[in-house]
A = this chain, B = another copy of it.
Amino acid sequence: MQHRSVFFISDGTGITAQSLGHLLAHFPNVTFRHIRMPYTNSVAKAEAALERVARVGKEDNARPIIVMTLVNPELRALICRADALCLDLFGKFIDPLALELGVEPERNVGMSHAVDNNAYAERIEAINFALNHDDGITDHGLNQARAILIGVSRCGKTPTSLYLAMQFGIKVANYPLIPEDFERDTLPEALLQHTDKLFGLTINPDRLHRVRSERRPGSVYASLENCRYEVQMAEKLMKRLNVNWIDSTSRSIEEIATRVLQNINGDR
């Protein structure tokens, strides 16, 4: 199997550069070693990076790949001298954008994750909201929620709520469907006032059984029989109440979150 080292070199956190690392999954037959080099913001640090790239290239006996977000043109030029495939986000995105917009880009480092703006405050507020409205802790403030995720325990509600908060600053509550709901065959009163915000998650009972067994092995809660019952009842309830829902079994947090966003925006 082919092996390559990938350097993420940035004069900031390098997080935008790293998010492109997802694209490497399109080469499943190559193993990639990720090396992060954030805050490469001086000639000395850029030269140290160059040396490391050269050393790793020799060790691997294969050209490294560099993904870089450097705003400083001098440092960009320096890094590009490396014997490596150099993928330069600034060159490929900011330069054509500047041309299109007819304005020079601001070169202050780190501004892409600036703290002093409303969007950032909204993200932090949304994370706190998700934590305070996790697992049906409270009904208080549900009117602030953009969406309320429902589903049986351990079907992916919490990670999805946190992801939506962290990435998009969207307030999402989540509420477990429990045997009591199935016996009464309806949702808690607090949720019935917000049916337009509900979005359901379901899960394959076998998978649920495995996930729950890791937490509470041998319990009724984790038994396959109970998992089958809960999932069946939850799906029945969601169908009857006309709640949009998807199966989380083989979907990532990102995929589930995208569906929730589509549901919020009404473009399903």
A65 with B100: in contact, given A115-B251, A250-B116 (CB under 8 Å)?
Answer: yes
Q: Is A262 an interface residue (CB 8 A)?
A: yes
- 0/1 per residue, A144-161, Cβ < 8 Å to B? 000000000000001100
A89 CB contacts on chain B under 8 angstroms: 20, 23
- CB contacts under 8 Å to B, within A103-160, are 103, 105-107, 110-116, 120, 123-124, 127, 131, 134, 158-159
User: Within 8 Å of chain B (Cβ to Cβ): is A237?
Assistant: no
A149-B24 Cα distance, complex, nearest whole Å: 31
0 or 1 for each of A224-263: is its CB under 8 Å from B? (1 = yes): 0000000000000000000000000011111101100110
A25 to B24, CA, bound (A): 25
Number of copies of this kind of chain in the complex: 2
Residues of B within 8 A of A257 (CB): 13
B94 touches A26 (CB 8 A): yes
Q: Which of A28-36, A170-178, A193-201 contacts B (4 or more CB under 8 A)?
A: A28-36
CB pair A106–B26 under 8 Å, yes or no, is yes
Given contacts A65-B100, A115-B250, A250-B115, contact A20 B16 (CB under 8 A): yes
Residue pair A63, B100 in contact (C-beta under 8 Å): yes
Q: A23 is contacted by which of B4, B16, B39, B114 (Cβ under 8 Å)?
A: B16
Which of B39, B71, B96, B252 has a CB less than 8 Å from the CB of A115?
A: B252
A residues within 8 Å of B by Cβ?
A: 2, 4, 12-16, 19-20, 22-30, 36, 38-39, 63, 65, 69, 71, 85, 87, 89, 92-94, 96-98, 100-101, 103, 105-107, 110-116, 120, 123-124, 127, 131, 134, 158-159, 162-163, 166-167, 250-255, 257-258, 261-262
